[in-house]
Structure 1
Amino acid sequence: MFGFGKKEKKKELKQYITGAGACVVTKSVLNGETGLKWLFREKDGIGNGWVALGESNTQAYVDDAANYAIVDFNTLANIEPAVLNILHMPAGADLEFKPDASGGYFVDTVNGKEIREPVKAPIQEAFEQNLKYLNKESYPAEELLRYFHGKGDMRIFCMGEADFPSGEIIIADPLVYLGNDKYTEPLNRKIPAGSYPVELAILDSPVAGLRIAAARLKIRETDICRYEIAMPAGTTAAQYNQPGIFAGFGVDAGMACFCDAAAAKEFGEFSDGWHQQNPGKNQYDDYFAQLFRSSYEAYPDVQREDGDFIEWAVPGYGHRIAMFASGLGDGLYAGYWGLDAGEEVTELIIPFMNPDYFS
């Protein structure tokens, strides 16, 4: 009659978010005994570092470790969905919850700013800024020179050499477009036939991890006076952005390369033959992946575990192609000629990431 022995039905949690990590919540907030009031993020704290305190929690209450529970961040979002807006705020964030007719919002106690929209993850913010930075018609010389000064979080690493028997350079995604004349063509300046070192600017970023921020093909040791965007053969920088003329190259497999035009044709022949001999197989997974992993084993301090670069000689021909990861991965990138006082090519550089956005 009185319902003795019946259990109260547990409220089912909504799935607001997954993979956000654990957080710390006072039990009074978790049990609905008091409303959420304070939220702060600890550096090197439990889980994702967020700690939630209740409106009625006294100092004595919060000083007692027994009054805390560790829960998934989604559990806290079920208590107050507004926490989804602040998930990506940095360590040190100190927030106060303000209920209102819309449900509520947080206020940054440091600067008084109201937070009513989702704060972007640092990597997303940096990525969006980086898109605006790339593929400009020109940069001040010091802007591109800084990549290879070896200062701050940047390290310079010579990954090997690339061979240029014809002196015509192709920059492309080697795993998708190299060897296909429809999608690649030589650049508008030639270099003397020969072999040249390829250097990588390695950025150790707290936001993006270990990445290749830029790559350059070093041609001469003369001082650079200016940079000029590399255009397709038969065009000049003056034709940048004219209809039908595209400066730059697309990346769809997270890789770029420095390659001679003759070596690109050799690569196309090798690739065609490999696919004929290996029907149904993936050329990266079943051929190149092991080469990149071996590169990591040889140089683990300057690349990620799957490997970020290889100096690779085309089987049957011997000409070397330099392949390397393109910063954050897929996208549109451009090369730039470094020119000396006599307008001779000193280097060809491909910037992938502005280090200022990822530090």
Structure 2
Amino acid sequence: MSYRYCYWIFTLCFLLVGCRKSTEGTVLSPGRATVSRLPYEVKAEPAVFESAFFPGKQVQQHSSTIILRQQLLGNLPVSSGQLVATDPITLSAQTPCFTTQFLRGRFPVELAIARFTSDERVAFAHVLFSAKPLARWELAVLPGQSPLPVRGPEYYGYLVDGGMALFLDAADVNRFSHFMADEAAAKNLMITCFHLDSAVPVPGFLYATSHDTLAAFSTGFGDGSYATYVGLDAENQPCRLLTDFQVLAWQ
């Protein structure tokens, strides 16, 4: 067999493999956070949105003490500066992003996990854009939505129907929605990677496909409508994005 013939066989095999649609992504190792900050005296309310991510945090609720632990999922690539928070089941190419323009780069996604007697639930998920202290929170809005007060009787939220949610860059929504249209890909992300068939499911992770990287995490006690908030620093620059999964009472 000639070298030229072997070369063309190898090239054909490479193209066939390379063109085959991948139905599985990869769970990434968290690595080291690109942004970190020390605990400080939080003045922006609700204070628990920030202090829940401080080591050793405890809160009193219904005569019980809830201990919070923090988990780094990894550093989320933000290429457009626009972010989407959504349920993967309802994700489509038309899913809108928040109107806030965030920094571009790679930023830590962290979970604040509430420990109960025999259970753990994700209370908050956030993206940490800077180490600057918070000055205030505001409700994240989509195009066409009017601002609402953080402590008001109404809020905007995204619906969760699969017990999990995502943070991803708006530039990745179209590709990833097509990726998730594949049944095997959806099963890999929503069941296999969360270890739902085991006694110890994982609360979240960074997930990478051939083109996109996103953060996936469980949503409190499961399905519901969950509000997302933008934290701003003293210069009125966005420094946090946080979803509250209604595990801790703060109203």
- How far apart are residue 148 of structure 1 and its match? 1.4
Does the 8 Å contact 1:168/1:190 carry over to 2? yes
- How far apart are residue 147 of structure 1 and its match? 1.6
> Which residue among 218, 224, 230 is the counterpart of 1:325?
218
1:202 and 2:113 aligned: yes
1:307 and 2:173 aligned: no
Pair 1:164–1:179, CA change in 2 (3 A): farther
Residue in 1 aligned with 2:3?
Answer: none
Residue in 1 aligned with 2:170?
Answer: 261
1:178 and 2:178 aligned: no
* Structure (1 or 2) with the greater strand fraction: 2
State the TM-score, normalizing by the size of structure 1. Answer: 0.49
- 2:100, 2:72 → 1: CA distance? 23
Output the amino acid matched with 2:224.
Answer: G
- 1:215, 1:287 → 2: CA distance? 18
Does the 8 Å contact 1:169/1:259 carry over to 2? yes
- How far apart are residue 345 of structure 1 and its match? 0.6
1:86-101 correspondence runs (5 A):
none
- How far apart are residue 180 of structure 1 and its match? 3.8
Output the amino acid matched with 1:198.
Answer: V
- 2:102, 2:188 → 1: CA distance? 34
Residue in 2 aligned with 1:103?
Answer: none
Does the 8 Å contact 2:128/2:241 carry over to 1? yes
> Which residue among 179, 191, 199 is the counterpart of 1:289?
191
- How far apart are residue 192 of structure 1 and its match? 2.1
Identify the structure with bigger relative contact order (alpha carbons < 8 Å, sequence gap 6+): 2
1:1-359 correspondence runs (5 A):
140-150=45-55, 151-152=57-58, 153-174=67-88, 176-181=89-94, 184-206=95-117, 209-237=119-147, 247-272=156-181, 275=182, 281=183, 283-285=185-187, 288-293=190-195, 305-315=200-210, 317=211, 319-355=212-248
Output the amino acid matched with 1:209.
Answer: D
- 2:219, 2:226 → 1: CA distance? 9
Does the 8 Å contact 1:141/1:225 carry over to 2? no
Does the 8 Å contact 2:85/2:166 carry over to 1? yes
Deviations 1:271-300 (A, max 9, x none): 23xx2xxxxx46543554222229x99xxx
- 2:203, 2:51 → 1: CA distance? 21
SS at structure 2 position matched to 1:222: coil
- 1:198, 1:214 → 2: CA distance? 11
Deviations 1:20-49 (A, max 9, x none): xxxxxxxxxxxxxxxxxxxxxxxxxxxxxx
Does the 8 Å contact 2:228/2:243 carry over to 1? yes
How many residues in Structure 1 have an aligned counterpart in Structure 2?
A: 195
- 1:236, 1:340 → 2: CA distance? 21
- 2:239, 2:176 → 1: CA distance? 26
Does the 8 Å contact 1:188/1:236 carry over to 2? no
Does the 8 Å contact 2:139/2:148 carry over to 1? no
Give the fraction of aligned pairs with identical amino acids, expressed as a percent.
27
- 1:149, 1:229 → 2: CA distance? 22
- 1:356, 1:332 → 2: CA distance? 15
- 1:162, 1:141 → 2: CA distance? 25
Output the amino acid matched with 2:100.
Answer: R
Pair 1:351–1:246, CA change in 2 (3 A): closer
- 2:146, 2:137 → 1: CA distance? 13
Does the 8 Å contact 2:81/2:169 carry over to 1? yes
Pair 1:155–1:180, CA change in 2 (3 A): same
- 1:238, 1:168 → 2: CA distance? 20
- How far apart are residue 189 of structure 1 and its match? 0.2
* Structure (1 or 2) with the greater helix fraction: 1
- How far apart are residue 305 of structure 1 and its match? 1.5
RMSD after superposition = 2.8
Does the 8 Å contact 1:339/1:345 carry over to 2? yes
- 2:53, 2:145 → 1: CA distance? 28
Deviations 1:253-274 (A, max 9, x none): 01111111111111022223xx
Does the 8 Å contact 1:336/1:348 carry over to 2? yes
